[in-house]
């Protein structure tokens, strides 16, 4: 990879901020977080993931607080992704059973408890790693087959993690977007049920269910913040691949708080910045190239069209980050300021913390800092979306210093 040293940002000056946007509430309705959480609570092994306070780092950076929702501890899966995949499978099965108005117990959704044809359902998806693992895990828990398509640059560790839940893994040449396209063709021929976190014409319902499933995280975070004396975060930094996670955060807080929602900062790799480019252009724009970034879970060249409707209405700032930003975030989590908790965070999980440190410390990003209004009264929420999902690369970054901070961004100089 060639070195890139620019952190680019764009303020969404055209976003209307309508709290009553029909499009937004159709995709992530108010109150759906309660339904999602009620379902997730039934899953064997469910427990609320921790909200970790980086109190000493926040003081060092001149912030009121930094709060990390640590999804590396979600259901022993190292990622939040199962929340969306499992909830989508739940909603699909409820629909097929004609029991959409009921809350169905987890045990009644298992393959050996549903009618014959439904019990033979094969759930399929394309993935950069974590979403596929979540779908494979959910299918396995319920006794269904799963087929997961990955692109050719997916690491062996991520493939083996998916296979550990009994999934059949198909490796497709090209990028994540190529895997999505191939899956849509093959699933139609084979009769598989796609559980994808991106949408296309005629396939919109399940991606919306996936976004709704993610809201369990925010319901938990709001309860945890309330227990600490805060009614809401003032800022939310959220990473984006196809944009489904980011859109779900924005839609949740739009529905909950309207114009009082937190300021939102959507963060992408500079080598896969499809949302950033779309916002700049004012329309959906495909990001070209090989999407070669260490942030494997965010290496997507096309934005989920459903997510786009939310992002363009509710997103405040959009940031494109080189890989060294994520690498620094991993190291800051792994070697915390004395007294702060240790957090295991992978490349995609750590980019938001890395960006926050640069915004608060580097003179070139002062306009962004001021535009966001970050300061001593700010309570910043970060989502650590993944733990150590690729152990070899994790050690390269944290132990060996891969993707170091370039000289122009270094503050601790010799």
The per-residue pLDDT for 365 is: 96
Around 188, how many Cα atoms within 13 Å sit in the side-chain half-sphere? 7
In a domain, 55, yes or no: yes
Residue 200 has pLDDT above 80, yes or no: yes
Mean pLDDT over residues 204-216, rounded? 97
Distance CA 199, CA 207 (A): 6
What is the reported pLDDT for 2?
A: 44
The DSSP code sequence of 182-203 is HHHHHHHHHT-EE--SS-BTTB
Determine the number of helices (DSSP H) and then strands (DSSP E) in the chain: 16, 11
Instruction: Examine the domain organization and report whether 98 and 229 are in the same domain.
Output: no
pLDDT of 292 higher than 90:
yes
Rounded mean pLDDT, 9-24:
69
Which helix (H) or strand (E) is 10 found in, with range? Answer: strand 8-11
- Which secondary-structure segment (H or E) carries 265? strand 263-269
Looking at the structure, do residues 165 and 225 belong to the same domain, yes or no? no
Q: Which of 196, 222, 256 is the last residue of a domain?
A: 196
Torsion, CA 292, CA 329, CA 213, CA 281, rounded to 10? -50
- 201 assigned to some structural domain: no
390 with 295, same domain? yes
Task: Kindly state whether residues 261 and 190 are assigned to the same domain.
Answer: no
Q: What pLDDT, on a 0 to 100 scale, did the predictor assign at position 129?
A: 80
* Cα 219 → chain centroid: 16
Look at 20-29, 142-151, 246-255 and tell me which has the smallest mean pLDDT. 20-29
How does pLDDT run across 174-184, given as a tens digit for each residue?
Answer: 999 999 999 99
- Please compute the mean of the pLDDT values over residues 301-317 and round it to a whole number: 94
pLDDT digits (tens, 9 = 90+) for 349-362: 999 999 999 999 99
User: Does the pLDDT at position 16 exceed 70?
Assistant: no
What is the per-residue pLDDT for 412?
A: 67
List the domain range (segments joined by +) for residue 132. 82-196
Domain count for the chain: 2
CA distance 123 to 170: 14
Percent of the chain with pLDDT over 90: 89
For residue 175, what pLDDT is reported?
92
Q: Which two tokens stand for residue 48?
A: 């609320």
Sheet with 168-172: strands ordered across: 168-172, 145-151, 122-127, 193-194
pLDDT number for residue 223: 97
Catalogue the active-site residues: 81, 128
Burial bucket for residue 123 (CB in 10 Å: 0-12, 13-18, 19+): buried
Same domain, 69 and 132: no
> What pLDDT is recorded for position 377?
98
pLDDT bracket for residue 18 (50, 70, 90): very low
Q: Which of 130, 161, 196 marks a domain boundary?
A: 196
DSSP-derived 3-state class of residue 414: coil
Average pLDDT value over all residues in the chain: 94
What is residue 19's predicted lDDT score, i.e. its pLDDT? 42
Does 289 share its domain with 362?
Answer: yes
Return the CA Rg of the chain: 20
Question: Looking at the structure, do residues 120 and 135 belong to the same domain, yes or no?
Answer: yes
Residue 3 falls within a domain, yes or no? no
pLDDT at position 5 is 76
Note whether 115 and 97 are same-domain residues: yes
Question: Considering the domain boundaries, does residue 2 fall inside one?
Answer: no
pLDDT surpassing 70 at residue 414: no
- Does residue 240 share a domain with residue 387? yes
Please check whether residues 212 and 304 belong to one and the same domain: yes
- pLDDT greater than 80 at residue 17: no
Residues 226 and 176 grouped into a single domain:
no
Q: For position 338, which CATH number holds?
A: 3.40.50.1100
Both 211 and 302 in one domain: the answer is: yes
Cβ atoms 110, 102 nearer than 8 A: no
pLDDT at 99 over 90: yes
Q: Are 10 and 318 in contact (CB under 8 A)?
A: yes
* Residue that finishes a domain, picked among 196, 221, 249: 196
Domain assignment present for residue 1? The answer is no
Task: Tell whether pTM > 0.85.
Answer: yes
Q: What's the CA dihedral at 30, 39, 192, 185 to 10 degrees?
A: 30
What CA–CA distance (Å, rounded) separates 307 from 254? 14
Q: For the segment 323-370, what is each residue's pLDDT rounded down to a tens digit?
A: 999 999 999 999 999 999 999 999 999 999 999 999 999 999 999 999
């Amino acid at each position: 990879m060639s070195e890139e040293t620019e952190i680019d940002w764009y303020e969404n000056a055209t976003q209307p901020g309508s709290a009553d946007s029909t499009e937004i509430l159709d995709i992530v309705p108010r109150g759906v977080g309660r339904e999602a959480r009620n379902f997730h609570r039934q899953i064997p092994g469910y427990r609320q993931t921790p909200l970790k306070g980086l109190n000493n780092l926040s003081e060092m950076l001149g912030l009121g607080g930094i709060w990390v929702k640590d999804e590396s501890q979600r259901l022993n899966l190292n990622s939040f992704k199962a929340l969306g995949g499992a909830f989508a499978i739940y909603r699909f099965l409820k629909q097929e059973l004609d029991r959409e108005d009921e809350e169905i117990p987890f045990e009644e959704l298992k393959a050996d408890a549903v009618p014959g044809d439904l019990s033979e359902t094969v759930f399929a998806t394309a993935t950069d790693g974590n979403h596929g693992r979540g779908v494979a895990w959910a299918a396995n828990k319920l006794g269904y087959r799963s087929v997961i398509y990955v692109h050719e640059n997916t690491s062996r560790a991520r493939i083996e993690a998916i296979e550990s839940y009994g999934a059949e893994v198909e490796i497709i040449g090209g990028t994540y977007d190529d895997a999505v396209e191939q899956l849509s063709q093959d699933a139609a021929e084979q009769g598989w049920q796609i559980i994808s976190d991106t949408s296309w014409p005629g396939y919109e319902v399940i991606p919306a269910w996936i976004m709704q499933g993610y809201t369990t995280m925010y319901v938990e975070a709001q309860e945890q913040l309330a227990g600490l004396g805060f009614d809401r975060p003032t800022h939310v930094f959220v990473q984006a691949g196809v944009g489904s996670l980011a859109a779900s955060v924005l839609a949740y807080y739009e529905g909950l708080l309207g114009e009082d929602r937190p300021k939102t900062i959507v963060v992408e790799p500079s080598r896969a910045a499809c949302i950033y480019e779309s916002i700049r252009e004012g329309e959906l724009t495909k990001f070209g190239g090989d999407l070669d970034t260490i942030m494997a879970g965010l290496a997507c060249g096309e934005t989920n069209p459903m997510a786009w409707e939310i992002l363009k209405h509710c997103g405040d700032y959009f940031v494109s980050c080189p890989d060294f930003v994520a690498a620094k975030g991993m190291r800051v989590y792994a070697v915390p300021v004395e007294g702060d908790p240790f957090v295991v965070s992978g490349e995609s999980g750590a980019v938001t913390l890395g960006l926050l440190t640069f915004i608060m410390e580097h003179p070139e990003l002062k306009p962004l800092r001021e535009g966001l209004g970050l300061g001593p009264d700010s309570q910043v929420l970060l989502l650590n979306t993944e733990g150590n999902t690729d152990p070899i690369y994790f050690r390269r970054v944290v132990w060996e210093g891969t993707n170091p901070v370039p000289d122009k961004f270094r503050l601790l100089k010799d």
